Structure 1
Amino acid sequence: MSAKANILAKLKKSLEGTTPIADNFDEALVTQPWRYPAEQRIARLRQLMEAVHSETHLTRQADWPALLERLLGERGIDRLLIAPTTTHGQQFSAHCRQAGSPLTLKAYDRPIEQWKRELFDEIPASLTGTLGGIAATGSLILWPTPEEPRLMSLVPPLHIALLKASEVHDNLYEAQQKLQWSAGMPTNALLVSGPSKTADIEQVLAYGAHGPKDLIVLILEDA
C-alpha cells in the first residue's frame, strides 16, 4: 500500500461510527447582497475596473476589431499576440487583411521553451477571450486553454480582453452555478480585476510588477 493510500485508509477508519454534520450553507449569504438589475451590471463592472487602472470600452460584435486596431495604433503598438484558431482570433485576422492593417499578428503556436525570449522581450500586447465577468467585484473570468495559455494574458505588457455583455454575472457564486464549475475546472481558473500592481517596495504603488501593466476590456453589447 502506498503512503497516500495508507493515509486515506486511516482517515476513513477514523470516521467509523461518526455522524456527518448537516450542511447549513445558506446560498442567500453569498448572493442576495450582490445582485443587480440587468441594466446596472455593466456600469458597475466598468466603474470597479476603471477605479483600479483598467480601461473599458463598450462596442459591438461587428465593430470591435476596428476599435482594437485604432487603440493599438494610438499606442504605437505594431505587434499583437492572438489565438488564430479561436473565433475572435479569426475575426480580427480577417479584419486586418481586409483593412490592410500594418499590424503583425503573432500566434502562440509553439512550446514556451522554443520562443520564451521572443514572448518576453518582443511581444507588446495580447488579445484573449474571457469566460465572463462578475459585477460584484468588477472582475473578468479567465479560463486558460491550449489555444490561449495562461502566459498570453500574463506576459505581454498590455492585455486586451473580450467580454460579452450577456456573460456578466451578478456574483461569483452565480457564475460558478451557471457555468457548472463543479463538473470540472482547469488547473488555473483566474479572476482578474485590473492590471498587475504591487506596493511591496517602499509602499509605493507600481503597475506591471507581476503581469501586464495595462488592461483593456472590450465589452461586446450584442451576440
Structure 2
Amino acid sequence: MFGRKQEDDTTVVHMLASALRRDISFGTLLPDQKLKIEALRQRYGGSNHSMRETLRLLTAEGLVEATAQRGFRVTSATEDDLRDILMVRVEIEKIALALSLKLGDVAWEGRVIAAQHGLTKAEAAVASTPDDLKALEWDEACRAFAATLIEACESPRLIDLHARFFDQSRRFRLALLREGGLDFAARKARQRALVDAILERDEPAALRLIEDEITAELTTPR
C-alpha cells in the first residue's frame, strides 16, 4: 500500500517538474522570479508536499534556487551564467564523447545517425514554423542528439551531469531560437561533419566539432 502511494507521489512530482522546466525554459517563469508554493499549486496542481519536492528536484538540477528565507526562486540567466554553463557543457561533453569514441559499437553509431536525422527534420520544421510546439519538438531533438553522442561513455555520472547542464542551457537555446539567432544551414553542415568524424573515429575533429556545436547553439554570432 505504502509502496504504491510513494510511486504515485513520485509520478506527480515528475509531471510537475516537467511542466515547470518547460515554463522556465520558455520564459513563462522568469529568471529570479519568486516561486510561491500556493500560487504554483493553483497553476499546476499537486499538494504542498509534491510541489515542495518538485522545487527541491529543480533546485538540484540548477533551475531553481532556495533562498535564505526558506523560499524558492527561478535561477538567474545572466551572461555570466551562460558562460559558466557553456564552459561546463563543453568540458563534460568532450570527455564523454572521447570515451564514447573508444567504447561505442556499431549499434551506437546507428543511433547517432538516427538522432542526427531526427534533429535535421526538427530543425527544418522549426525554421519554417517557429511556434512553441515546433520549438519544443526541436529542443527535444537537440536533447536526443546530444545525449546519443555521449551515451556510449559508460559513465552514469557523466551522463547525469550532461542532462543537468543541458536542461540549464535550455532557456538560452530557446531564446536564441526566438530571436532568430540560429544559422540552420551552418548547423546542418556542422552536425553532418560531426557525425562523419564519429563514424571515422576521428577524435580530434569530433571534439573540435562538438565544442563548435555547443558554442553555436548557445551564443549569438558576432
TM-score (norm 1): 0.23
Higher Cα Rg, which structure: 1
The structure where strand makes up a greater share of residues is 1
Pick the structure with more helix per residue.
Answer: 2
TM-score (ref. length: structure 2): 0.24
Structure with more contact order per residue of length (Cα contacts < 8 Å, sep ≥ 6):
1
